[in-house]
Amino acid sequence: MHAFSATLELIGVNPFVQMPADVLADVFSKAGRSKGPIRVHGTINNQPYEQTLVRYAGEWRLYINLTMLANSPRRIGEILAVTLDYNPVGPPVLTCPTFERALAEAPEAQQVFDGLSASRQNELVRYLVRLKSEEALTLNIERAIGFLLGKNRFVGRDRPNLNCLGFCPCPPLPNVLVSAVQTNTSATMGSNEIAPDQQEQLLSVLENRFRENLHRHAGHSWGELKGRLQANPSKLWALSEMERTGGEPDVIGFDAATGEYLFCDCAAETPLGRRGGCYDRQGLEARKEHKPASNAMDMAAAMGIELLTEEQYRSLQQLGRFDAKTSSWLQTPAEVRKLGGALFADYRYGRVFVYHNTAQSYYSSRGFRGLLRV
């Protein structure tokens, strides 16, 4: 077990300590690799922890969350006593014997399940093993099998794409949202809620994503966030729309001034279900022919979210690489919009580019990313 002192630092909203080179080299040697997340354990100020080393922006860091160090986001600059070593014990493998028997009786569903990534398989099983009654388990296993056979949604996701054995994104034209925009562009989220079973499924999806991407929100706990979401059904509805349209929302920050968590679409490419629209209604109505079905500003309003600003988009790109093949509309300053323009951005050649287009333009590879405050 290695022992060292380290200053608590901050990257984005995430507290972390730097890894000494000799400690890191020994962990790599014991793990047999120097790529991907690597499990470690040790103590912080004599308090035991288990954590995953993550490489981000070219540096390996030990992220310090609230369970490792109380109130860690407000203790930046403090010198910590750290012990650390490679943890050879992998995460527990979740099993659900009843689900396994159901898969054995449905070979086609078994084939689809086997073709999913390990994280997707774990997502399904984790949801099932947390159910408390046999009745609920039986019902949800039926839904899970139906989902794998392409018959229905499950855990907040659309049907698996049987051609690629992955999760199928939502349809290119989100008709429900288009209808909402066309019939009531001033609608608010107040009356929008999702059923209790759908809430449970959505929370499971969000929790899995939260835990699998700790570098986006290190220092924050899922328990507190879950309680806040359960107390705000309209926010859950907005998140369900972000998920349904392919956004894969996740927490990317915390606004200390307002006490709000910030959710953002974190799909690798601009959400598939929001592509192919003009920037706003004015731009849409300015087209004389070949009008698309929707526009980004109205669609975002109907979902209860807001487009990212240029600053927010650049901050998101510090947490990963997004829109390497697509692009996303951005909130456009009034002075630019008055002249007929609108901003969009993407990631190419190792950097973020922000461009302009006429607001009435639209492309099959351009959508938008949303921000939701909770």
The mean pLDDT value for 125-137 works out to 82
Whether residue 263 is found in the same domain as residue 316: yes
DSSP string, 124-143: HHHHHHT--SHHHHHHHHHH
Residue 123 or 262, more confident: 262
The mean pLDDT value for 304-330 works out to 94
Task: Give the integer Cα–Cα distance in Å for 67 and 88.
Answer: 21
pLDDT at 282 exceeding the cut of 90: yes
Query: Parallel, antiparallel, or unpaired: how do β-strands 327-329 and 366-368 relate?
Result: parallel
Band of pLDDT at residue 13, cut at 50, 70 and 90: low
The mean pLDDT value for 191-207 works out to 83
Band of pLDDT at residue 183, cut at 50, 70 and 90: very low
Q: Residue 156's pLDDT is what?
A: 59
Whether residue 312 is found in the same domain as residue 344: yes
Q: Residue 354's pLDDT is what?
A: 96
Whether residue 34 is found in the same domain as residue 119: no
Among the ranges given (189-198, 218-227, 268-277), the one the predictor scored with the smallest mean pLDDT:
189-198
Residue 220 in tokens = 């924050």
Four-point Cα dihedral 285, 291, 294, 298, nearest 10:
-10
The boundaries of the domain holding residue 295 are 175-373
Q: Residue 22's pLDDT is what?
A: 94
Whether residue 144 is found in the same domain as residue 51: no
Q: Residue 330's pLDDT is what?
A: 97
Whether residue 160 is found in the same domain as residue 243: no
Map 329-356 to HEC letters.
ECCCCHHHHCCCEEEEEEEECCEEEEEE
The mean pLDDT value for 91-111 works out to 84
Whether residue 212 is found in the same domain as residue 150: no
Task: Give the integer Cα–Cα distance in Å for 250 and 236.
Answer: 12
Whether residue 202 is found in the same domain as residue 237: yes
Question: Of the candidates 145, 167, 189, which is a domain's last residue?
Answer: 167
- How many domains is the chain built from? 3
- The verdict on residue 92 lying in a domain is no
The mean pLDDT value for 255-263 works out to 86
- The verdict on residue 108 lying in a domain is yes
- The verdict on residue 258 lying in a domain is yes
pLDDT in tens, 333-363: 999 999 999 999 999 999 999 999 999 999 9
pLDDT at 172 exceeding the cut of 50: no
The mean pLDDT value for 253-268 works out to 88
Question: Of the candidates 139, 167, 195, which is a domain's last residue?
Answer: 167
For residues 278 and 368, the answer to whether their CB atoms sit within 8 Å is no
Whether residue 274 is found in the same domain as residue 143: no
Task: Give the integer Cα–Cα distance in Å for 279 and 282.
Answer: 8
Among the ranges given (115-129, 178-192, 274-288, 331-345), the one the predictor scored with the smallest mean pLDDT:
178-192
Q: Residue 159's pLDDT is what?
A: 57
The one-character DSSP state at 295 is B
- The verdict on residue 45 lying in a domain is yes
- The verdict on residue 302 lying in a domain is yes
Question: Of the candidates 147, 167, 187, which is a domain's last residue?
Answer: 167
pLDDT at 185 exceeding the cut of 50: no
Whether residue 51 is found in the same domain as residue 18: yes
Whether residue 38 is found in the same domain as residue 66: yes
- The verdict on residue 352 lying in a domain is yes
Q: Residue 218's pLDDT is what?
A: 79
For the chain, the average pLDDT equals 84
Whether residue 349 is found in the same domain as residue 220: yes
- The verdict on residue 91 lying in a domain is no
DSSP string, 156-168: TB--EETTTTEEP
pTM of the predicted model as reported, rounded to 2 decimal places: 0.57
- Please give the sequence-ordered ranges of beta strands (E in DSSP) within 219-284, or none if there are none: 249-255, 260-265
Q: Residue 359's pLDDT is what?
A: 95
CATH label of the domain that carries residue 76: 2.40.30.100
Task: Give the integer Cα–Cα distance in Å for 263 and 87.
Answer: 31
- The verdict on residue 248 lying in a domain is yes
